[in-house]
């Protein structure tokens, strides 16, 4: 039982030491992780037109009009077909 308690205290101490290191608490001793000094400049350089990004609230997004709510004078859009579905054109039935 004493060995398990000692192991548990050692693991807690190691976790606290790791947490202090990742938060930069050990930087005064020269042990700071690289992420504190770099902040990923290579990713900033790879961005393409970052000014085009727009963050919108959910209420600002315009929802598409469902087909049932479309005006009756407009024909309903055809459902999408899968690429593996058999063709039902009139040219296929002419030879029968």
Q: Is residue 4 part of a domain?
A: yes
Give the number of C-alpha atoms closer than 13 A to the C-alpha of residue 19, restricted to the C-beta side.
6
Q: Is residue 78 part of a domain?
A: no
Q: Using CB atoms within 10 Å of the CB of residue 52, give its burial: 0 to 12 exposed, 13 to 18 middle, 19+ buried.
A: exposed
Q: Is residue 62 part of a domain?
A: no
Q: Is residue 67 part of a domain?
A: no
* Per-residue confidence (pLDDT) for residue 17, from 0 to 100: 92
* Predicted TM-score of the model (pTM): 0.36
Each residue of 57-94: pLDDT tens digit? 877 666 666 666 555 566 666 666 656 555 555 555 55
Q: Is residue 1 part of a domain?
A: yes
Q: Is residue 79 part of a domain?
A: no
Q: Is residue 68 part of a domain?
A: no
Please give the tally of structural domains in the chain. Answer: 1
Q: Is residue 2 part of a domain?
A: yes
Can you give the residue range of the structural domain that contains 39?
1-46
């Amino acid at each position: 039982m004493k060995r398990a308690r000692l192991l548990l205290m050692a693991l807690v101490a190691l976790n606290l030491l790791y947490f202090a290191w990742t938060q930069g608490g050990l930087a005064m001793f020269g042990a700071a992780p690289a992420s504190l000094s770099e902040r990923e400049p290579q990713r900033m350089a790879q961005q393409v037109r970052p000014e085009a990004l727009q963050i919108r609230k959910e209420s600002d997004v315009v929802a598409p009009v469902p087909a049932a709510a479309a005006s009756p004078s407009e024909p309903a859009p055809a459902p999408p077909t899968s690429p593996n579905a058999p063709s039902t054109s009139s040219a296929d039935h002419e030879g029968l």
